[in-house]
Amino acid sequence: MEKIRPLQDTQGQRDSRGIPIDRVGIRGLRYPMQVRDKARSIQHTIATTTLTVDLPHHFKGTHMSRFVEVLGEFGQELRVQNVPDLLRELSRRLNSESAHATFDFPFFLEKKAPVSGSPGMMDYGVRFDAELKGKRVDFIATVIVPVTTLCPCSKAIAARGAHNQRGQVTLSVRFRKPVWIEDLIALVEQCASSELYSVLKRPDEKAVTERAYDNPVFVEDVVRNVAARASREPNIAWFRVEAENFESIHNHNAYAVVESRKGRRRAK
């Protein structure tokens, strides 16, 4: 019987270029995930995942299969509360000083139309960004919220009507205690001309249109409105808010961003 020779560990070979790598790993892996849901306790979703570690200058490569192996050891469906332990295990198994994980996933809410009460499901983008450096874990939660904005200038100068457009607000936060995704979404929606719905009957469409007309906002107003509300939330330690309007009468978009003046305080 032929003796099986041990396979060469190419990734473990030494590299002579003296250049460390900040992050190396896998990207674009879809994986089942559980997140807290205010209405139903738990929501099951599918996250697009990035997992990385740092690589010292003397190693040629990392062991890519270990990222998937470690993720699988946390079960067929990852829970958010397990993310810090996941980072620690990645760091241990891959002999790294830091580890990083990003989870992008859709989050669904049932919303009732403002007049008819007709129910419909709305989806929002959510991203969790977690990083381990030494013994400290930094966690950032991000919500991506579609909204309606109506132009104050157009309303002021036009004899009939005013142009409006759909926009997108991205709010990222560090927090002192866990926050509800639903609460972050609601904070953003209250800062635009109107929130969006998936189902609108004619009375609802009239109400939403008139609400937006009565509450015109520039993209600058949106980020300032969100920043003002976020600043008043004692549980938010840091935030960054971006707003982009997909302009209806221009071939470009309007954009604004505000970052917290509270400083880059890290969540424990």
- The tens digit of pLDDT for each residue in 65-75 reads 999 999 999 99
**Structural domain containing residue 172:** 21-259
- Residue 215 domain-assigned (yes or no): yes
- Residue 14 domain-assigned (yes or no): no
Each residue of 96-111: pLDDT tens digit? 999 999 999 999 999 9
CATH number of the CATH domain containing 32: 3.10.270.10
The pLDDT value given to residue 41: 86
- Residue 5 domain-assigned (yes or no): no
- Residue 15 domain-assigned (yes or no): no
Show the tokens assigned to 50. Answer: 């990035």
Question: 110 near 101, Cβ under 8 Å?
Answer: no
Q: Which uninterrupted H or E stretch holds 203?
A: helix 202-214
- Residue 268 domain-assigned (yes or no): no
- Residue 16 domain-assigned (yes or no): no
Residues of the chain with pLDDT > 90, as a percent, come to: 76
Question: 87 near 130, Cβ under 8 Å?
Answer: yes
What are the CA-CA distances from residue 152 to residues 116, 156, 213, 244 (Å)?
A: 28, 6, 9, 16
Give the number of C-alpha atoms closer than 13 A to the C-alpha of residue 208, restricted to the C-beta side. Answer: 26
DSSP β-bridge partners for residue 146: 168
Count of domains forming the chain: 1
Question: 137 near 175, Cβ under 8 Å?
Answer: no
Does the structure show a pLDDT above 50 at 266? no
- Residue 78 domain-assigned (yes or no): yes
Neighbours of 211 (CB within 10 A): 15
- Residue 229 domain-assigned (yes or no): yes
